[in-house]
Structure 1
Amino acid sequence: MSESEWVPGDHEFALCLTHDVDRPYKTYQSLYYALKERDPSHLRGLLPGSNPYWTFQEMLDLESELGVTSAFYFLNEQDLFADRPPRDWLSGTAWQLYAGRYDIEDPEIISLIREIDDRGWEVGLHGSYESYADREMLATEKRHLEDVLGHEVTGGRQHYLNIERPETWTYQRAAGLQYDATPGSPSDYGFHDGYDPYRPFDDEFVVFPLTLMECALPDPGTNVEKAWQICERLLTEARANDAVMSVLWHPRFFSDDYQSYDVIYRRIVERALEMDAWVGAPGTLYETLDHQSMPQAVAEERASQSAD
């Protein structure tokens, strides 16, 4: 049994499941992979009605089967042609950042967001590429998502893991977010920010560091056991240290373009449950925490501000 204040009940450790919804449609990537792999079958992604990256039903069904839920962070990114200056239209970087995105007011996206929420999963904010350094932009994106969702969101993660510490957290907190799940790496894995979440302002705002993004693993399609050994080692380390471990799997990694990543994800959840971990969404874990045990100085400062 864990003695950590961050791990609920009698569980050994906690595992937070998260998904950044970046590109639910396979658009120009179809041509890229067709040329790169010399495989014209990728062009089927451009056909009307074909949407290989729309894997949400499979994800929800998988997690429902295992008895867990997760967080889906939705992105409200700028459009390359509608929002960016013409000089960006010929920029490869701009195409990577802003082309092929989605509109959260698209009826299909609205329906998805509300279905995820209605089924009891967490919907959170995936702050756009520039919003980590723009307080008003971040606040606007949060309000926009909440208008679509119909209620407030608890937390989220910044796109591309962009962050300035502690400035980004001050913007998130000012916008009304209660937690951030950004700190981490797309190319490295491990508990580099420690085994516990932390409160950067000694108040209710909590940071859940990212332990593992799927693209940091060796390709499971080439060697599934090598990728699994890393995941099992992280789970073992989490249990030994009463840790809160967090993983990120993008929805497109459940498609056929990314062989065996879904197998690894299932094995992570199954193994964590076997090891008596608490498994769920960060927002759900946040709700189990004791936010009243703040340092006395913080409590006194808040009382003074309220009096004023």
Structure 2
Amino acid sequence: MAEFALCLTHDVDRPYKTYRAIYDALNERDPSQLAAFRPGHNPYWQFESLMALEDDLGVRSAFYFLSEPGLPNRPFRQWCNPRYWIEHLGRYDVESTDLTNIIQALDAGGWEVGLHGSFDSFDDRERLADEKAKIERALGHEVTGGRQHFLNLTPGKETWGHHRAIGLNYDSSLGSSTEYGFQHGYEPLRPFDDEFVVFPLTAMETALVEDGNFEAAWDACESLLAEAADNDAVMTVLWHPRLLSDDFPGYRELYRRLIERALELGAWVGPPGDLYERLDDPKVGAIEA
């Protein structure tokens, strides 16, 4: 029996470097950033790179895909909100050829594909159901879990109720983008005392790295792993794929080091969907061998 578990997850927010290339070119006075618009050159497309890294370590992870609605499909009042322009300019279509191909390649290789609920979907069951169905059309079968964009949740259990109602087995939105740790305990939660599970988010990569200090980030990772091992915990981490690009040096090495250390400590390492199938007691959440 594994002493503890490390769940690996990736929120696919921006697989294409679109408006960000223009911002970086202007902010850094570096026209070479515009190369992101050149066919065949997209630094944020890190799927194959991530798959190779994880395959080399003998592990798998979960990729949560987003279906953010475009501005024409939003209420007119939202057209004046800069947030929705940013979401619109960065959006992608999971049913496009490129995304469908990579989604199916991930699935065929043993990676989990899940739902990344759009910004306003956390209190909109119909919207969540539509987004889930869209990903399932690209995937070819049902998805069983995911996480809300920006970790958005209702104050009560309504979002989880929506997740359960549309057929998800688990959610991993409970956590912080600025803090890390086991604030919600060491075990998966059962908010409805049934088969639906919440895997709290232990650490997002950007919360670990403060002011570019990767040595301090590694110390934090090692401390979290030690705490997880001491408490037979389930630890869940989030690494956004684009942060493994050369635009963000240090994040790839930190991710690899985290996995390697977890394996050295005897952890079970994989996607939450696989761990869900190994939970041998819905009230306790222990890890089967």
Quick check: 1:184–1:211 contact (8 Å CA) kept in 2? yes
Are 2:137 and 1:147 equivalent residues in the alignment?
Answer: yes
- Matching of residues 1-308 of structure 1 within 5 Å: 10-80=1-71, 82-85=72-75, 88-164=78-154, 165-219=156-210, 222-290=212-280
Q: Unaligned stretches of 5+ in structure 2?
A: 285-289
Query: C-alpha distance in 2, partners of 1:44/1:207?
Result: 41
**How far has the Cα of 1:264 moved from its partner?**
0.2
Query: C-alpha distance in 2, partners of 1:87/1:175?
Result: 28
**How far has the Cα of 1:142 moved from its partner?**
1.1
Quick check: 2:44–2:242 contact (8 Å CA) kept in 1? yes
**How far has the Cα of 1:292 moved from its partner?**
6.4
Distance 1:200 1:88, change over 3 A: closer
Quick check: 2:18–2:89 contact (8 Å CA) kept in 1? no
Query: C-alpha distance in 2, partners of 1:65/1:26?
Result: 26
Quick check: 1:20–1:74 contact (8 Å CA) kept in 2? yes
What's the secondary structure of 1:262's corresponding residue? Answer: helix
Query: C-alpha distance in 2, partners of 1:32/1:292?
Result: 48
Query: C-alpha distance in 2, partners of 1:40/1:292?
Result: 54
The amino acid of 1:65's aligned partner reads D
The amino acid of 1:200's aligned partner reads P
Quick check: 1:203–1:291 contact (8 Å CA) kept in 2? no
What's the secondary structure of 1:247's corresponding residue? Answer: strand
Query: C-alpha distance in 2, partners of 1:257/1:107?
Result: 26
**How far has the Cα of 1:219 moved from its partner?**
4.9
**How far has the Cα of 1:98 moved from its partner?**
2.7
Quick check: 2:9–2:237 contact (8 Å CA) kept in 1? yes
Quick check: 2:193–2:283 contact (8 Å CA) kept in 1? no
Query: C-alpha distance in 2, partners of 1:197/1:120?
Result: 23
What's the secondary structure of 1:200's corresponding residue? Answer: coil
Query: C-alpha distance in 1, partners of 2:49/2:88?
Result: 26
Query: C-alpha distance in 2, partners of 1:204/1:125?
Result: 18
Pick which of 46-55 and 34-43 moved more.
34-43
Q: How many residues align?
A: 283
- Aligned residues with identical type, % of pairs: 59
**How far has the Cα of 1:88 moved from its partner?**
4.1
The amino acid of 2:276's aligned partner reads Y
In the superposition, the TM-score normalised over structure 1's length comes to 0.88
CA RMSD of aligned residues (A): 1.6
Deviations 1:241-279 (A, max 9, x none): 111000000110111111110000000000000011010
Q: Which position in structure 2 is the counterpart of 1:301?
A: none
The amino acid of 2:67's aligned partner reads N
Query: C-alpha distance in 2, partners of 1:189/1:97?
Result: 26
Quick check: 1:204–1:291 contact (8 Å CA) kept in 2? no
**How far has the Cα of 1:79 moved from its partner?**
1.2
The amino acid of 2:188's aligned partner reads P
Quick check: 2:190–2:283 contact (8 Å CA) kept in 1? no
**How far has the Cα of 1:49 moved from its partner?**
2.5
The amino acid of 2:161's aligned partner reads T
Distance 1:98 1:35, change over 3 A: same
What's the secondary structure of 2:63's corresponding residue? Answer: strand
Q: Unaligned stretches of 5+ in structure 1?
A: 1-9, 295-308
The amino acid of 2:241's aligned partner reads P
**How far has the Cα of 1:225 moved from its partner?**
1.1
